[in-house]
């Protein structure tokens, strides 16, 4: 028996070696081949850890970030749609470097007449234009936008030299600003406010022709400090229009002067509420602070409609202070209705707020503040408690933009007040998304100019979770028995993009200005990837802990992609290099299927492969111990006397050999399989994923097995698995619940399911109608 065991061990070594060779990809075994294995570590792609950013994904012991504090006096000229401002910036240098100059962002310059932004893309002749579009494109000089800088002065009033390069301004310092020092300087400026409904400006006004009023949503309205960090130095990439904003944190004291009949809200705490509120408004505000189940109107629709009929020549100044924010924005109009309610977040109350003209009703009064409150609860549960005292949703036509504590959102009913389900869900979704941006990137402050997906993708993923939770919390808003119809997040939603023309697809790890389809690339694909990571690869418990760890490590700091990737692995003990590489660094897609199935029978006589092995070594059956052989049932060379045997029918010596090393208890638990199958799975797509398989048997039973993604580590093209069963295998389905964004499901089944022709589908559709 010992001799038999020795020979069997030799055979096992042979079969293991043979199996390993089968699993290697052909290219990896070719001489001089560069290792392209998706499972290799990401040392080439990732920046080397250092004292600023650790290998675990945490801020390092020498991590630093700059601070920029602002004092501003702003005046809105409603007659001429202009904004005037003067600001004093105090810049704190916490970097280990001395700074010879400072860089500021002049984002309004993207709309200047001499802007290079409209020239950066090629274009051709449109075969048809709206009359307005044709006139604007070919018959006018265009909008006269951009900052007019009156002066830049130091703290003593002396002029500082500055240079404007498109949307960036360099201020030269008289002497280098050393580590630990700060410098104060002032800028006076003005600009013409654009109509944001033209060319989809991110901020500006909407003009309402019927009553002659404007509703203003104002952002990117002041020269703002750029980020200086250990990663980029100065982040002074130009603002071309798509790549958004990289900004340092700081404190803001802002005085905003507007017509006295305007309603206004902004980033920060309102310091002079009793001066700008009427007694009735103060009373309603007190009620709103105690109302947790529904919003309280601070300004009613009737009051807003009355204000629309006038145009006050008097002025009113609203005073705000905001601490530890990265940006500032405000909204102002005499048309605004205003409502608020309290939301309990952790151990404190936050005010959920909405501003909207009558054109937004009844939809906005019914749902806007409800969506704000629900969003704050959902995001806080998955990341950290919302730290600011309020979150504001402002109605603005065709808008979706975000700033600390305030955002603009679309969704307008028809003139008669009716609205479609699409309009309703679109409004709720954009409010969830834009309010959610308070978390990413307003607090977890990533570099939007360089990595659009770090704010849009993470926020869209969180939006998907918050939408589903909104549907659960407010079933009366959702159609009966339906889930919230999220537009992005579910694996099936990304398939059209990932299966599209590769010449118009870029990796997620691309600058927003360099992608063809920003929505799918920066929003949908990373959101879907994270959803798959949560539901299929890691599981909710591991993912949620790691994601919350990332959010809490980097709140009020500047994370990079590597910080996110490393933290997700550090907090979960899941090696995800293959996932980041495939989903974020390539344009590969998922396609996994069943290539073939072979049926085997048990025999005590060797089959063809074994006989060839023995012949090559001058061996006979007498040289071997009793062995169990699996012989392919359908092969022409299979002997008839080898067919149809079950383990109970094989020879007694062989059965004794099989049971030799088992205890009596173990023998009693053994089930003798009657059917054996070798299933070959292939992977035409480039992305390795968990191999999720459902096996169906003749007795109607099913078994689902999830093989880990590492099953593809040795062969990126195909793998085999042996299935032993008590009953006959009749069907195999890969990815039965459509979890992996598989772009081609025609190869996901065995036996192969015939897809109906387009004509037959058309006929079936007629029958259904």
Q: What residues contact 297, with CB distance under 8 A and at least 6 apart? A: 284, 337, 338, 339, 365
Provide the pLDDT for residue 635.
53
As a whole number of angstroms, the distance between CA 696 and CA 740 comes to: 20
Distances (CA, A) of 130 to 134, 136, 241, 345, 397: 6, 10, 23, 48, 19
| pLDDT over 70 (residue 30) | no
Least confident of 153-167, 357-371, 531-545, 646-660: 646-660
| pLDDT over 70 (residue 675) | yes
- Burial per residue of 219-242, b for 16 or more beta-carbon CB atoms within 10 angstroms, e otherwise: bbbbbbbbbbbbbbebbbbbbbbb
pLDDT digits (tens, 9 = 90+) for 497-554: 999 998 899 999 999 988 889 999 999 999 999 999 999 999 999 999 999 999 999 9
Helix-helix angle 577-584:561-570, to 10 degrees: 150
Structure tokens at 726: 């008590």
| pLDDT over 60 (residue 306) | yes
Distances (CA, A) of 566 to 56, 452, 578, 580: 6, 19, 13, 10
For the chain, the straight-line distance linking the first and the last C-alpha, in angstroms and rounded, comes to: 73
| pLDDT over 70 (residue 658) | no
Mark out the alpha helices in 588-687 (DSSP H runs): 608-616, 652-659, 664-669
What average pLDDT does this structure show over 703-708? 97
Provide the pLDDT for residue 606.
84
| Residue 666 CA, distance from chain mean position | 50
The angle formed by the CA atoms of residues 730, 675 and 663, to the nearest 5 degrees, is: 140
pLDDT digits (tens, 9 = 90+) for 150-177: 999 999 999 999 999 999 999 999 999 9
pLDDT digits (tens, 9 = 90+) for 226-246: 999 999 999 999 988 888 999
What average pLDDT does this structure show over 658-681? 74
> Which band of pLDDT confidence, cut at 50, 70 and 90, is reported for residue 31?
very low
Rg (CA), the chain: 33
> Which band of pLDDT confidence, cut at 50, 70 and 90, is reported for residue 585?
very high
pLDDT digits (tens, 9 = 90+) for 446-504: 999 999 999 999 999 999 999 999 998 898 898 777 889 999 999 999 999 999 998 89
Bridge partners for 90 per DSSP = 69, 184
Provide the pLDDT for residue 653.
53
Q: What residues contact 53, with CB distance under 8 A and at least 6 apart? A: 47, 59, 60, 63, 230, 560, 562, 563
Half-sphere CA count of 567, side-chain side, radius 13 A: 22
pLDDT digits (tens, 9 = 90+) for 594-627: 999 999 888 778 888 888 888 898 888 878 877 7
Q: What residues contact 420, with CB distance under 8 A and at least 6 apart? A: none
Provide the pLDDT for residue 671.
67
Helix (H, G, I), strand (E, B) or coil at 646: coil
Distances (CA, A) of 362 to 96, 268, 296, 302, 411: 55, 28, 15, 13, 11
As a whole number of angstroms, the distance between CA 552 and CA 383 comes to: 7
As a whole number of angstroms, the distance between CA 558 and CA 443 comes to: 9
Distances (CA, A) of 228 to 104, 123, 233, 243, 515: 11, 35, 5, 17, 25
| pLDDT over 90 (residue 2) | no
| pLDDT over 50 (residue 693) | yes
pLDDT digits (tens, 9 = 90+) for 381-409: 999 999 999 999 999 999 999 999 999 99
Residue owning tokens 């003139």: 415
Q: Label residue 95 left, alpha or beta by phi (over 0 means left) and psi (-120 to 50 means alpha).
A: beta
Helix (H, G, I), strand (E, B) or coil at 575: coil
Provide the pLDDT for residue 659.
60
> Which band of pLDDT confidence, cut at 50, 70 and 90, is reported for residue 120?
low
Phi, psi of 267 (to 5 degrees): -60, 135
| pLDDT over 60 (residue 6) | no
Provide the pLDDT for residue 753.
81
> Which band of pLDDT confidence, cut at 50, 70 and 90, is reported for residue 17?
very low
CB-CB contact of 682 with 654 (8 Å): no
> Which band of pLDDT confidence, cut at 50, 70 and 90, is reported for residue 9?
very low
CB-CB contact of 317 with 330 (8 Å): no
Structure tokens at 428: 């709720």
Tell whether omega for the bond before 98 is within 30 degrees of 0, i.e. cis. no
Provide the pLDDT for residue 193.
97
Q: What is residue 583's DSSP assignment?
A: H
pLDDT digits (tens, 9 = 90+) for 734-753: 999 999 999 999 999 999 98
- Burial per residue of 628-656, b for 16 or more beta-carbon CB atoms within 10 angstroms, e otherwise: ebbbbbeeeebeeebeebebeebeeebbe
What average pLDDT does this structure show over 164-191? 97
Bridge partners for 192 per DSSP = 82
Provide the pLDDT for residue 601.
83
Q: Label residue 701 left, alpha or beta by phi (over 0 means left) and psi (-120 to 50 means alpha).
A: beta
Structure tokens at 125: 């002749």
Provide the pLDDT for residue 664.
72
pLDDT digits (tens, 9 = 90+) for 237-270: 998 888 899 999 999 999 999 999 999 999 999 9
* Lateral strand order in the sheet of 330-333: 204-208, 213-218, 330-333, 263-266
Helices (H) and strands (E) in the chain, counts: 18, 31
Residue owning tokens 């939809």: 363
Half-sphere CA count of 620, side-chain side, radius 13 A: 1
CB-CB contact of 145 with 204 (8 Å): no
- On the 0-12 / 13-18 / 19+ scale of CB atoms within 10 A, 502 is exposed
CB-CB contact of 384 with 555 (8 Å): yes
As a whole number of angstroms, the distance between CA 467 and CA 371 comes to: 9
| pLDDT over 80 (residue 34) | no
> Which band of pLDDT confidence, cut at 50, 70 and 90, is reported for residue 35?
low
Q: Label residue 131 left, alpha or beta by phi (over 0 means left) and psi (-120 to 50 means alpha).
A: alpha
């Amino acid at each position: 028996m010992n001799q038999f065991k020795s020979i069997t061990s030799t055979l096992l070594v042979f079969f293991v070696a043979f199996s390993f060779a089968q699993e290697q990809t052909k290219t990896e075994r070719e001489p001089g081949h560069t290792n392209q294995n998706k499972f290799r570590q990401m040392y080439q792609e990732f920046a080397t850890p250092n004292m600023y950013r650790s290998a675990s994904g945490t801020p390092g012991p020498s991590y630093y970030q700059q601070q920029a504090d602002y004092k501003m006096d702003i005046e809105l000229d409603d007659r001429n749609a202009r904004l005037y401002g003067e600001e004093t910036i105090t810049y704190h240098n916490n970097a280990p470097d001395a700074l010879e100059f400072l860089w500021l962002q002049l984002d309004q310059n993207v709309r200047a007449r001499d802007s290079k932004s409209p020239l950066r893309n090629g274009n051709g002749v449109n075969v048809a234009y709206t009359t307005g579009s044709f006139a604007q494109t070919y018959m006018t000089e265009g909008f006269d936008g951009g900052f007019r800088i009156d002066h830049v002065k130091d703290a003593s009033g002396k002029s500082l030299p500055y240079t404007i390069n498109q949307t960036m301004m360099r201020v030269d310092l008289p002497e280098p600003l050393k580590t630990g020092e700060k410098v104060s300087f002032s800028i006076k400026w003005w600009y013409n406010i654009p109509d944001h409904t033209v060319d989809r400006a991110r901020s500006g006004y909407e003009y309402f022709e019927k009553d002659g009023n404007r509703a203003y949503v104002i952002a990117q309205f002041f020269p703002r400090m750029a980020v200086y960090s250990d990663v980029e130095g100065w982040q002074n990439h130009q603002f071309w229009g798509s790549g958004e904003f990289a900004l340092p944190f700081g404190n803001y004291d802002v005085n905003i002067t507007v017509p006295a009949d305007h309603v206004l809200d902004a980033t920060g705490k309102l310091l002079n509420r009793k001066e700008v509120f009427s007694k009735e408004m103060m009373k309603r505000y007190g009620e709103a602070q105690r109302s947790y189940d529904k919003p309280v109107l601070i300004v009613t629709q009737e009051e807003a409609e009355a204000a629309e009929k006038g145009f006050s020549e008097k002025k009113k100044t609203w005073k705000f202070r905001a601490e530890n924010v990265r940006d500032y924005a405000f909204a102002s109009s005499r048309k605004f209705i205003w409502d608020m309610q309290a939301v309990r977040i952790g151990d404190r109350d936050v005010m959920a707020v909405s501003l909207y003209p009558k054109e937004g009703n009844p939809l906005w009064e019914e749902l806007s503040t409800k969506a704000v409150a629900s969003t704050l609860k959902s995001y806080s549960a998955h990341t950290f408690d919302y730290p600011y005292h309020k979150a504001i949703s402002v109605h603005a036509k065709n808008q979706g933009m975000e700033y600390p504590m305030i955002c603009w959102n679309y969704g307008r009913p028809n003139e008669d007040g009716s609205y479609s389900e699409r309009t309703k869900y679109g409004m709720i979704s954009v409010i969830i998304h834009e309010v959610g941006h308070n978390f990413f990137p307003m607090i977890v402050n990533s570099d939007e100019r360089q990595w659009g997906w770090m704010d849009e993708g993470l926020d869209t993923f969180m939006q998907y979770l918050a939408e589903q939770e909104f549907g659960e919390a407010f079933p009366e808003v959702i159609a009966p028995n339906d889930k919230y119809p999220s537009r992005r997040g579910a694996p099936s939603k990304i398939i059209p993009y990932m299966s599209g023309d590769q010449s118009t697809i870029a990796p997620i790890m691309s600058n927003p200005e360099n992608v063809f389809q920003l929505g799918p690339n920066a929003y949908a694909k990373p959101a879907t990837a994270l959803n798959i990571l949560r539901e299929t690869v890691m599981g909710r418990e591991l993912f949620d802990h790691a994601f919350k760890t990332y959010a809490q490590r980097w709140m009020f700091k500047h994370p990079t992609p590597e910080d996110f990737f490393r933290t997700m692995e550090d907090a979960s003990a899941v090696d995800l290099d293959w996932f980041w590489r495939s989903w974020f660094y390539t344009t590969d897609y998922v396609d996994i299927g069943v290539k073939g199935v072979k049926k085997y029978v048990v025999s005590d006589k060797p089959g063809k492969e074994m006989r060839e092995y023995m012949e090559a070594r001058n061996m006979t059956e007498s040289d071997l111990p009793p062995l169990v052989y699996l012989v392919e049932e359908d092969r022409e060379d299979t002997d008839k006397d080898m067919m149809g045997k079950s383990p109970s029918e094989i020879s007694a010596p062989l059965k004794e050999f099989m049971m030799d090393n088992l205890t009596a208890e173990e023998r009693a638990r053994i089930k003798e399989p009657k059917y054996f199958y070798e299933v070959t799975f292939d992977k035409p797509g480039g992305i390795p994923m968990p191999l999720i398989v459902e096996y169906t048997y003749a007795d109607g039973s099913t078994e689902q097995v999830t093989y880990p993604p590492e099953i593809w580590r040795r062969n990126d093209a195909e793998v085999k698995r042996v299935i032993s069963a008590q009953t006959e295998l009749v069907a195999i389905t890969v990815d039965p619940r459509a979890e992996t964004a598989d772009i081609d499901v025609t190869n996901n089944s065995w036996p192969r399911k015939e897809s109906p022709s387009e004509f037959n589908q058309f006929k079936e559709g007629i029958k259904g109608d």
